[in-house]
Structure 1
Amino acid sequence: DAKMSPSGVLVVLLCALWCEKAFGGAPCPCKDSRLCEPVQRVPSKEVFGFGSASWRQYDWDVVTTIAWANESDTELLCHAHKHNVRLISAANRPEKAFLNGSEAAMVEWVRSTVARLSSIHFDGVTFDYEAPMDPTDTHTQMKYAELVKRTKEALAKERPGSQVSVCVPWSPYDIDQRSYDWRALADAADFLYVMAYDIQSQILSRCIAQPNSPIEAARYGLNAYMRLSIPPSSLVLGVPFYGYVYGCFNTTIGDTPICAIEEDPFRSVACSDAAGSQWPFRDMYRVYSGELAGVCVSGVHWDEATQSPWFNFYSLTDTKLQQQGENKMMFRRSLTPSSCSATIQPQHIPVRQAWFDSPRSIRAKVRMAKDMGLRGVGPFAFDQLLPRDGAQIKASPGLKDAAGEFWGALGEIRQADAMTATGQ
């Protein structure tokens, strides 16, 4: 075997020391070691969304940040950083550091979080704490904001260019009993991700099926945050790539939008969207497009007031939809669509009503965000558009086209966008 010269050994040792410092002691899995550094050139507008399971289907000219990315997918890491797309980890049980925790607990949480992000070469962290908090508990509110602040400061020192965000409800006004110090959180983080979905988590009006993300409610919530002196540049509008399916007590398959639902209490309110089931867009599409035999659909309707689509449907094959895995509908037998009736269905078969978001409704929200000067938009979640199985995508070309329309709608926020170096 060839022997290395003393000077060669020195070069290797120096290289190893540099890599340990630059990459937190973990080897870089990318051919170009620079791809393990935090992304430095980012757009002025964000398309910040969750999930990475189907990342090969994403539009890499549109997406800017992927939260909750798969930390063990090194191919994703190299591909994302090559396209100047940030990968963001979830904050791991932050409540351990600020709920009745000591100063030492907070210091250790920040240290371990920064070390973990360095070891996986990620670009930051997002906090998604959603437990109730008493409005008079200012001590806990302060400690939560302090944890976010310290995390951002530590990451800025160890991994310059890193991003810290906080997920917040659609409105700051005690939604689901969450009373946090929103202004302090906005000051501590790079931005707040406003989850403008699950808006019917506490239904205070009639107990009927309603839109998951009505646009005027989203606008109201955003304006409420801005009234707290939070600038629009610190807000990213979260939009849903999923909807809700409800069982109706009174509805026929016809065109009526009124669907009385079962009372299902949530945090002291009798009626909530917990009476329904969350369905990803891809499953909504399979129903309303007629891909499923034995399912009768009213046709998709548009609610102008809420800028939301909806439809009624029922299954001829069972009194209850059978669900398995990720809401993949399984039926005991199949019937032809000609067996459906537009206005009449057997009395023992329940009608269901679906409210969801389509490219049209997403585009309306993106344009609202653009008009309001927000930092960006982003979905929960990217993976709810298309199945992971490429064969299933090929079998449904219409679904792939619809997914492309979603990406096109998101991309409108980045029109005339400019790439800038972080910190500028």
Structure 2
Amino acid sequence: MRWSLELVQALVVLVLWVCCGSGTGCPCSDRALCKPVTVEHEFEVFVFDVGGKDWKYYDWSKVTTIAAFGPYDPELLCYAHANQVRVVLRAGMLEGTIYAECHWVGEGQMNHLIIIWKPPTGSVTVQMATNWVTFNMPWSPDCIDGRCYDFLRIANSCDFLFVMSYDMQSQMWDNCFAKANAPYYQTLSGYSAYINLGIDSRKLVLGVPWYGYDYPCTQFFETGRCVLEKIPFRGAPCSNAAGRQVPYKEIGQHVHKSITGRYWDDEQKVPSYIYMVNNTFHEVWYDDPQSISIKSAIMKKLRLRGIGMWNGNMLNYSDDHFIVKQTEDMWNALCPL
């Protein structure tokens, strides 16, 4: 699909109206906070937020961009800009999703637009008359979940690419055992494959999960050998649809009460644990500060643009001393020394 300048201009007008309203003026008490964020960061830390007020407790010393999936919150905009952080708002339209960064100059005017568009199928040429264009990519360019796009052309049309290095078990081709959501070597291979296509590594942002999968076992032999119900997806006989997504804030509360406690898998370089309910074994695979740190080191190894996560709300921001430490460790893992 080729985007004409006329279509882009029409979408810009629609996004301005959907995201920010018309003529509403600057929502911040300090009008300077409605000006564009111009600070250049050494690397990107891209945070998806799904709503509520968790953002008040984010580590703002690290964040560079907030992609807000929840309702528009002017308080978030003002607070983020006070910390020199961009805010990106979502507006669903056509066959994809568009995100616009809102800041005001004069009465209700925006002068910066970010578009993250996920097309349904096929190759894409993206032509945009905007300041900043980016694109959500599957964890590998190898037709993951039927996403067989011309990734090099997309990369050449974008400022940077957010690579969703999670949900890697959406198609299980080898066996129906529970596995890690984002195994290290599989993660690394995805970025290497993109770079081998000719994509500049500085255009790639490493996406990591702040959630895991809880898999009920139809049979359980030992840790790492939890047999799953066969739920096919896009030709593969099994998939992660056999489990449910679990946020890290829930995992952090449960792992110490499990049968096994935290078990480290050195092959996939992620932890897991086993628990039982109603005579059924469950195996939970997840990421924690250790596994996130190992993956975030890929940034330096391959000279990537930065890192981000799905999503910032999946941590526990209570004031309990033990939980505070868990949460701090997850934020710190994004930025290896």
- If the TM-score is normalised by the length of the shorter chain, which range does it land in? 0.7 to 0.9
SS of residue in 2 equivalent to 1:219 = helix
Q: Following superposition of structure 1 onto structure 2, how do residues 77-156 of structure 1 map, counting pairs within 5 Å?
A: 77-90=77-90, 92-95=92-95, 119=108, 124-129=113-118, 131=120, 133-134=121-122, 141-142=123-124, 145-146=125-126, 149-150=127-128, 153=129, 155-156=130-131
Superposed counterparts of 1:14-29, under 5 Å: 25-29=23-27
Choose which of 290, 301, 326 in structure 1 pairs with 2:263: 301
Question: Greater share of helix residues, 1 or 2?
Answer: 1
RMSD of equivalent CA atoms: 2.5
Shift of 1:24: 7.0
Of 346, 370, 384, 2:300 maps to 370
Query: Partner residue of 1:328?
Result: none
Q: Confirm whether residue 180 of structure 1 aligns to residue 170 of structure 2.
A: no
Between the aligned partners of 1:303 and 1:369, the Cα distance in structure 2 is 22
Deviation at 1:114, TM superposition (A): 6.7
Choose the corresponding residue for 1:276, options 228, 232, 243. Answer: 243
Provide the aligned length of Structure 1 versus Structure 2.
312
Query: In the alignment, is residue 74 of structure 1 matched against residue 38 of structure 2?
Result: no
Counting aligned pairs with the same residue, the percent is 34
Q: Give, in whole Å, the separation in 1 of the partners of 2:245 and 2:89.
A: 24
Residues 298 and 121 (structure 1), Cα distance of their counterparts in 2 relative to 1, 3 Å cut: farther
TM-aligned CA deviation for residue 399 of structure 1: 2.1
In structure 1, what is the equivalent of residue 275 of structure 2?
313
Q: Where in structure 1 are there 5+ consecutive unaligned residues?
A: 1-22, 98-108, 135-140, 157-162, 291-295, 320-348, 388-392, 416-424
Q: 1:364-400 CA distances to partner (integer Å, 9 max, x unpaired)? A: 011122221000011100110126xxxxx23x43222
Shift of 1:183: 1.2
Equivalent position of 1:331 in the other structure: none
Which structure would you say has the larger Rg? 1
- The one-letter code sitting in structure 1 at the alignment partner of 2:229 is E
Contact 1:247 1:353 in 2 (8 A): yes
Contact 1:91 1:128 in 2 (8 A): no
Distance in 1 separating the partners of 2:177 and 2:163: 25
8 A Cα contact 1:303 1:309, kept in partner:
yes
Find the aligned partners of 1:176 and 1:165 in 2 and give their Cα distance.
20
Out of 211, 220, 239, the position equivalent to 1:242 is 211
Higher strand share: 2
In the TM superposition, residue 89 of structure 1 has moved relative to its aligned partner by 2.2
Unpaired stretches in structure 2, ≥5 consecutive residues = 1-20
Contact 1:90–1:126, Cα closer than 8 Å, also in 2? no
1:233 aligned residue: 202
Structure 1 residues 71-80 or 230-239, which shifts more? 71-80
Q: Which amino acid aligns with 1:377?
A: I
Deviation at 1:206, TM superposition (A): 0.9
TM-score in terms of structure 2 length: 0.85
Q: How big is the shift at 1:69?
A: 5.0
Q: Is 1:398 the counterpart of 2:322 in the alignment?
A: yes
One-letter amino acid matched to 1:182: F
Matched with 1:42 is 40
The 2-side partners of 1:115 and 1:278 are apart by 29
- Which residue of 182, 186, 190 corresponds with 1:217? 186
Aligned equivalents of 2:116 and 2:247: distance in 1? 23
Give 2:9's aligned residue: none
Letter in structure 2 aligned against 1:219: L
| Alignment partner, residue 337 of structure 1 | none
Alpha-carbon offset, residue 268 of structure 1: 1.9
